Structure 1
């Protein structure tokens, strides 16, 4: 058996991309419709989706590290200085108390809308009416937008009028409507408002506020927010920063006030004690005439006075420690004044007292807006409970240390006192009174100094943070991005269309493309024949220059690559199933060959369902059946085709009962041998190889085989079996003709399902014989 090897199969520039384009071209109305729907849908989406503007502000945080905060020589100064870090302040800025305050200040729980064609536009400063609630926390949220109109006198809701600048009891709470300066006298637009829970609004704003460092080495925080109204976005950011700074100042002043109150109370006590001692000294000198003491007495007196002053300071520190302990052990840390740590030379204790107080303040602020089981509340309580034991342990350690120091000083004082006992009684009494006076005077002077320092802290009561730039909104919306939406819509429509086409083509069980044939069989596709749209079955003639006529001429040229020529004249034409156009191909190919001046014989060996006589409009007469039965000679069955003087027909004649056995009786070979001597080409139309086996009986008598595959008709399963059938039944030099390929695309020049232009006219095939 001779098999043709494809040594130079036609290639296409663009490969699979070009193939995909030609597969999609016929579906251009689908893609056009999808693109139109996608663009319209994107436009509607942009109309109903609120436009979001971005506002941004910057604030400088004066970050204080632990080493920078503590002054060991003056521990009291650290009591008024709050430790700050960028990470902590970032969380403070978006904390619930600050956001809640901004919501209340700007009345963000009430939103006014101007109703449009497809969407509602948020109004803020430009709203004709401003809405205020007497108690925002008790408002009843609206389930939907409440429509209203406004007049010169007031607002009309559900045909009920409400005057401006008066409190009115409404179904949503006690409300006041204020006419805005921007309200127009004649504005026929439809307006609406919504009321939302302040907590819900605050939570929404907090989730949308973003706080980030300007860069890794900077302590500048960039605060940004998205909102439908650019002016409202700016006011929200400015409000957050203002409330943040105000809270910082208030906390600073509160700590200073607590410290000053503590010092003032101590000053009153020490002042009274100092006056009592001075009066006692005056009376003693007057009554006893004591004017001076001896040099040794002065020395003892000075030493004792120093020790007593230190003991007094220790007693004051112990008093401070007792107040701190009482404060820490109390259940409600905010119930009283925060004890001052003045005179306590332990910056760690001062910091822990400040930390626990600030944590309790934050917890109390959060408790007003959340429940006890809120994760933030639980976190605050856990931190407080962790710091309390540390403070108490520190207090115990310091109390023990101070007690030891006091006992040591008391022992030294006792020694000096014993020495003073040897002095005259009057002189000794005078030394004791003077010593007490000096102690109280030193404590009084120390407290006065600290009181002045605390008072000075009120002067520099500005926030430790600085607003670098106020809020500034973007000029154009940042979301949704119009170009991206349109691009995504068009891209999605394209993907949807490609997916639809791919799924549709994948679900087809019939051959649609030439590359499918090439993937299912090794046989070369030597020609594509376009679908015949005319009623004529013979589509080629000497004066015809149609596309399909040119395709048959190209097929004629390709035959010599199958070995058809002077020596090998017999070409068998078959198909997998009936209806694929094998007789149509055989008839027109025979006419094409006859047009070259060669004598061509067209044999209708389809003894089951002949159609050649219909193609040429000739009635059946004696034919191949009669010859095979011995009832007619060769000369009797050869007829003129009436299509070309060089083309002759051998029709089937009367259909036999057993065509397969009739073909195998030996007469068929005699017939073909005779025709070889009188004709240049023999085109043999045989039955399909699927339903009957006649083609396999004739195949050994032929030189080449044209296997006709019809577009959108031939099942893929039959193509998969071609190679196996050829191997088992020895079909000679087989090649495929892709028939009835529908013209596709925008014009008639874009047709077919092949590569490139869609049609292979033939390629360069080497005739290699492989036994």
Structure 2
């Protein structure tokens, strides 16, 4: 393998790319991107500025946190016995508590005492800023009336008594209190535009509210929006995040993202209070039912007690008898004790019968605590209490889940199992109480026989006194139970508790200023990188010499620079230019390609028109002529001849004329005006160029030309467009396929490969024409082409380019 000894610009020695060379060149890739450094700089600056402005003008978002402790009540022994049967909910379902805290009902309860339905804003630099507390105006809404919600109103203060109202954002809908979960669209969005007075009622079919001045100044502009509670509750419930602090703990962390810290803290505190109040209300439900039952029993007993008390006093007065005899007192004491026991048993029986009715119609919300019954039944007490708790849990679950939800199905199964067991125990208790009442009645009947032996006056007194004291005993008994139930209710408290009240983070969690700046920096780098990469990937033009290098079977000779002249005679007119040096380098390489031949025929072609094959042929012929070689340039592109106009010649006589008229080729040779360079033009365009080339006379002419000249340069038509070029390959020693920088398609390499394979051409080479070097990046691709040139090298003159010329790609 030979190398070029000349260190000239655009010089690429023959066969210098070996098959062992790696295609991947990190330095070249980096440099290929670095030449767009202005794009990267502008993009980075732009994106960082955007990130800075975003940080500056975006409303900061804070996280408000609070924690709730879930305390599990200790079950009694009986509950432990039945927990394995699924009748006792011994384990607290933490996930259920999470959904309860996120329920819409709880959100509405939390919003009751907070005036979040009206939001007030002021115009900011890029967006509106919300005002919370100490608002300059107050909007009071009558929520019992249909009300316009959503959108945004603009209120401009005219003076202390008047204001201008208009719709700022037309997204209004109408809230109907009779159908609170479905808002209807408002057809006329600008119906509110006009002037109004403060404290006056603004009312129509779909709104009713009053605006009060709380310190607004004339000319001040205030924005406000109205939100209905169901929609607001849905929004707040969706924004609330509830999760366990730790998997092994029973502490729930509640967090809320908000732009106004105090507003978020108030809502979260109200939510936790509403959560505990709800739990307490559910625990008080059984106590309330028990108190109501006792009060109903007392209302009847009080009347009976008053009646018999009056009757007793009247009988004693009328019959002058106040005390029983000794025998009567003994019998009466025994009877009174039995009567009291039977009365209490009957109260218990009424309780169990009512409990049975509730169980039969599954009215579990009305269940009473079993403390009213005078039976020591721990199992019954546990089952009633557990059924009340299960029903409360079902109520909370159904507020958030459908009946088909697995959690709801599971709680229904537990309720049904508990109801069945409780019903069996109630039926058994009713049977036992009936038996007890029957026994007491038999004993009372026995004593009644003894009473009949007493005198009539004493017997009647005993009967009246008996009724009075029985009612009095029952009254006292019920009063005691009422006090117990009230004490029980008063002593109820939520099993869960608030560990930490709501508190906002000191610094905002959004925007993350440093992270946004970093993101802006990398996005700024990524945008041009992505654009350049995509453009490069989809670019099908030859814009990199390495592309031609990679095709090792077709050697790459070198690069021809871009000329600023308006004709092709660069070598002859500007012998010290970089383009001329590149052709000198090619001339040097030719000696290595055909080292033993004195007469050389070099063929130039390309795949399509416009790639510069004629330019290369003219200057290759010129550079040989300058070296003293006798050179002839053949214009074999009979279809689109161009050589004549570059040398100012007339293209009337040429190869087509020679072959058509059987004339001597020497008569058609023209002098180029330069020493050692002759030109044989193509002649007038014939109708059958391919057939002319196939004549025997053309072969004879070529043999004579080769014997007459040292160097024969053939300017042939594009091989990708016409067929005659393939017939010309047999006359050439070296075949050069011209590609043009950023003009030729990459797919044209396949044309060269096809020629090598099908036509069996062994000496076919490629060059890259019209290559533009960016002087800002020195050696450009870094492959040793010698791209970097200038006055410091001193080998040739660089065509000077002014600032405007560099911008337009021209030289001066």
Partner of 2:424: 397
Superposed CA offset, 1:195-252 (max 9, x none): 1222211211111112111111122211122233232222211221222233334444
* Partner in structure 1 of residue 629 of structure 2: 599
Cα gap change, 1:213 to 1:553, in 2 (>3 Å): farther
Q: What does 1:207-222 align with in structure 2 at a 5 Å threshold?
A: 207-222=238-253
- Matched with 1:721 is 751
Q: How far 1:627 sits from its partner (Å)?
A: 8.4
Deviation sequence 1:25-75 (CA, Å, 0-9, x none): 57966x7887788778878888997654332222222233656995999xx
Q: Does the Cα contact within 8 Å between 2:617 and 2:633 map onto a contact in 1? A: no
Contact residue 70 and residue 252 of structure 2 kept, 8 A: yes
Structure 2: gaps spanning 5 or more residues: 1-13, 83-87, 166-192, 788-812
Report if the CA contact (8 A) 2:571-2:619 is conserved: yes
Q: Could you say which residue in structure 2 is the equivalent of 1:128?
A: 136
Structure 2 CA distance, aligned partners of 1:555 and 1:9? 24
Judging changes above 3 Å, is the alpha-carbon distance between structure 1 residues 50 and 522 closer, same or farther for their aligned structure 2 residues?
A: farther
Cα distance in 1, alignment partners of residues 402 and 154 from structure 2: 35
In angstroms, what is the RMSD of aligned CA positions?
5.8
| Count of equivalent residues | 714
* Whole-angstrom distance in 2 between the partners of 1:598 and 1:556: 12
Instruction: Identify if the C-alpha distance between structure 1 residues 459 and 550 changes in structure 2 by more than 3 Å, giving closer, same or farther.
Output: farther
The match for 2:583 is: 552
Task: Tell me, yes or no, if the aligned pair for 1:64 and 1:85 is still in contact at 8 Å.
Answer: no
Pairwise CA distance, 1:350:
1.3
The corresponding residue for 1:162 is: 197
Structure 1, unmatched stretches of 5+, are 74-78, 367-373, 762-771
Contact 2:122/2:131 (CA < 8 Å) preserved in 1? yes
Q: How does 1:96-175 map onto structure 2 within 5 Å?
A: 96-135=104-143, 138-141=146-149, 143-149=151-157, 152=160, 157=165, 160-163=195-198, 166=199, 168-171=201-204, 173-175=207-209
Say yes or no: does 1:234 pair with 2:265. Answer: yes
How many Å separate the matches in 2 of 1:638 and 1:241? 105
Residue 734 (structure 1) shift = 0.7
- Structure 1 residue 135 displacement after superposition: 3.3
Match of 1:738 in 2: 768
Structure 1 CA distance for aligned equivalents of residues 351 and 201 of structure 2: 55
Provide the rounded CA distance (Å) in 2 between the counterparts of 1:69 and 1:134: 53
Query: Cα gap change, 1:328/1:55 in structure 2, threshold over 3 Å: closer, same or farther?
Result: same
> 2:570 aligns to what?
539
Does structure 2 conserve the Cα–Cα contact (< 8 Å) formed by 1:125 and 1:231?
A: no
Q: How do 1:368-767 and structure 2 match up within 5 A?
A: 393-394=420-421, 396-406=423-433, 454-457=485-488, 460-479=491-510, 511-514=542-545, 522-540=553-571, 546-559=577-590, 562-563=593-594, 566=597, 569-593=600-624, 597=627, 599=629, 601-606=631-636, 608=638, 609-612=640-643, 614-615=645-646, 637=669, 639=671, 642=674, 647-652=676-681, 659-662=692-695, 665-671=698-704, 673-675=706-708, 679=710, 681-715=711-745, 718-743=748-773, 747=776, 749=778
Tell me the secondary structure at the aligned position of residue 583 of structure 1: helix
Is the Cα contact below 8 Å between 2:618 and 2:633 reproduced in 1?
no
How has the CA–CA distance of structure 1 residues 8 and 586 changed in structure 2, closer, same or farther, with 3 Å as cutoff?
A: farther
Name whichever of 624-633 and 544-553 sits farther off: 624-633
CA contact (8 A) 1:114 1:120 kept: yes
Looking at structure 1, the residues matched to 23 and 718 of structure 2 have their Cα atoms a distance apart, in angstroms, of: 32
8 Å CA contact retained: 1:570, 1:702? yes
Distance, in Å, in 2 between the alignment partners of 1:89 and 1:403 is 37
1:7 and 2:18 correspond: yes
Q: Return the alpha-carbon distance in structure 1 between the equivalents of residues 390 and 437 of structure 2.
A: 35
| CA–CA distance in structure 2, aligned partners of residues 418 and 654 of structure 1 | 151
1:286 aligns with 2:296: no
SS of aligned partner of 2:133: coil
Work out the CA distance in 2 between the residues paired with 1:410 and 1:535: 130
Q: Tell me whether 619-628 or 577-586 shows the greater mean CA deviation.
A: 619-628
TM-score, reference length from structure 1: 0.72
Name the stretch that deviates more: 546-555 or 649-658.
649-658
Distance 2:577 2:283 in 1: 97
Residues 345 and 437 in structure 2, CA contact (< 8 A), matched pair in contact too: no
8 Å contact kept, 2:621–2:633: no
Q: Find the counterpart in structure 2 of residue 61 from structure 1.
A: 70
Q: 2:384 aligns with which of 330, 338, 350?
A: 350
Q: State whether residues 158 and 164 of structure 2, in contact with CA within 8 Å, keep that contact through their aligned partners in structure 1.
A: yes
Which residue in the other structure is 2:232 paired with? 201
Partners of 2:762 and 2:404 in 1: how far apart?
89
Q: Name the TM-score, length of structure 2 as normaliser.
A: 0.69
Distance in 1, Cα, partners of 2:668 & 2:148: 106
Structure 2 distance, partners of 1:85, 1:626, is 104
Q: Whole-Å Cα distance in 2 between the matches of residues 531 and 256 of structure 1?
A: 100
In the TM superposition, what is the alpha-carbon distance from 1:529 to its structure 2 partner?
2.1
Look up the match of 1:370. Answer: none
Q: Counterpart of 1:106 in 2: which secondary structure?
A: coil
Aligned equivalents of 1:388, 1:732: Cα separation in 2:
94
Distance in 1 (alpha carbons) for counterparts of 2:48 and 2:77: 61
SS in 2 for 1:202: helix
Whether 1:22 aligns to 2:56 is: no
Instruction: Check conservation: 1:571, 1:705, Cα contact below 8 A.
Output: yes
